[in-house]
Amino acid sequence: MKAGERGAPVMNGASTIIRASDLRKSYGDRVALEGVSIAVNRGEIVGLLGPNGAGKTTTLSILSGVLTPDAGSVSIDGHDLATAKAQARECLGLVPQSLALYPTLTAVENLMFFGRIQGLSSRQASEGSLKLLEEVGLSDRAHDAVEEFSGGMKRRLNIACGMLHSPTAIMLDEPTVGVDPQSRERIFTVIEAAAARGAAILYSTNYMEEAERLCDRIILIDHGSIVARGTTTELIALAGTETRLEVTTRRALAPGWCKGMAGVSELPWAVAEGFAAALSVASIDHVPALIRRAGEMGVEVIEFHVHRPNLQDAFIKLTGHALRDAPT
């Protein structure tokens, strides 16, 4: 793992199912990808984590053959997407961000339709549909029209449609947007089951907690470049191990407000929004003195919390801005 590794070489072992090298893509003058390299192994769940506009959808669209890159190459289970597109696409399942379902068809009819266009026989599609409906928890709604489904149910069916042909490479683009916690857990279970069966999974999200919960490895992407990759533990180590105190105040605190206090230092890079201050503290025993110091400066502290370093910290440290609502 290494910061600033744009275009870094990727693993090329026998178990690498999804492999992309030095992908570049622009839309007119707007550069969307600046040399992205990715490798996902059999049985592995890799998170592609970045803010809105970072380039996640563009990466997944290229990896699944929906978009052609300006430069770079992709292979899926050993098939080059440029020269053996049909074989490569047979191995991959894409779950797009926007729902790709026919609202007036039932859940089973949607699955049958996608199964048949993915080349399954009617029997294979039918058997696979029943099994997947069970996995995504929709067996009892199999014969209901999709237009009657909740958002979470549609998301789960969308995932089933992308996985019906048992792809060895599965790419999911922010599949939990707008779903309730129960549906999200069900989605995670389905993804984990697919990985346990040996599929390579690339999971795009801008929810740090999801990446932390689900993924074996995480790739942090920002402004079309990979800024770091590694396990959650490795990435968090990049952010340092200091205990952080986040203080929210009614008015802004002047820079240098806690100057001279032993064991305390300001972390201006960690402040994401509002009237907030972030501090590295040697011990939480410093908290009362800090609140007193703010009070002496005429600033009321309305909230504070002690914070263990996480992926958000790693991202902020590497990019200088927060994971969500970053400028695009």
Using CB under 6 A as the binding rule, whether residue 30 contacts ligand ATP is answered as: yes
Q: At what angle do helices 151-163 and 181-196 cross, to 10 degrees?
A: 10
Please give the Cα distance from 41 to 217 (Å, whole number): 11
Using CB under 6 A as the binding rule, whether residue 319 contacts ligand ATP is answered as: no
- Segment contacting ligand ATP by CB under 6 A, of 1-9, 25-33, 69-77, 279-287: 25-33
Using CB under 6 A as the binding rule, whether residue 56 contacts ligand ATP is answered as: yes
Q: Which DSSP letter does residue 146 get?
A: G
Among residues 17, 23, 46, 54, the one that binds ligand ATP under rule CB under 6 A: 54
CB of 55 to ligand ATP, least distance (A): 4
CB of 299 to ligand ATP, least distance (A): 36
Using CB under 6 A as the binding rule, whether residue 50 contacts ligand ATP is answered as: yes
Instruction: Kindly give the residue spans of alpha helices, DSSP state H, lying in the chain.
Output: 56-63, 85-90, 107-117, 122-135, 151-163, 181-196, 208-214, 232-238, 287-296, 311-319
- Segment contacting ligand ATP by CB under 6 A, of 47-55, 83-91, 127-135, 267-275: 47-55
Residues 6+ apart with CB under 8 A from 219: 38, 46, 47, 48, 49, 226, 228, 229
* Contacting ligand ATP within 172-211 (CB under 6 A): 206
SS3 at position 167:
coil
Using CB under 6 A as the binding rule, whether residue 230 contacts ligand ATP is answered as: no
CB of 210 to ligand ATP, least distance (A): 13
CB of 224 to ligand ATP, least distance (A): 7
Using CB under 6 A as the binding rule, whether residue 64 contacts ligand ATP is answered as: no
Among residues 52, 124, 248, 310, the one that binds ligand ATP under rule CB under 6 A: 52
Query: Which tokens hold the place of 277?
Result: 């201050």
CB of 99 to ligand ATP, least distance (A): 14
Binding site for ligand ATP (CB under 6 A): 27, 30, 32, 50, 52-58, 206, 328
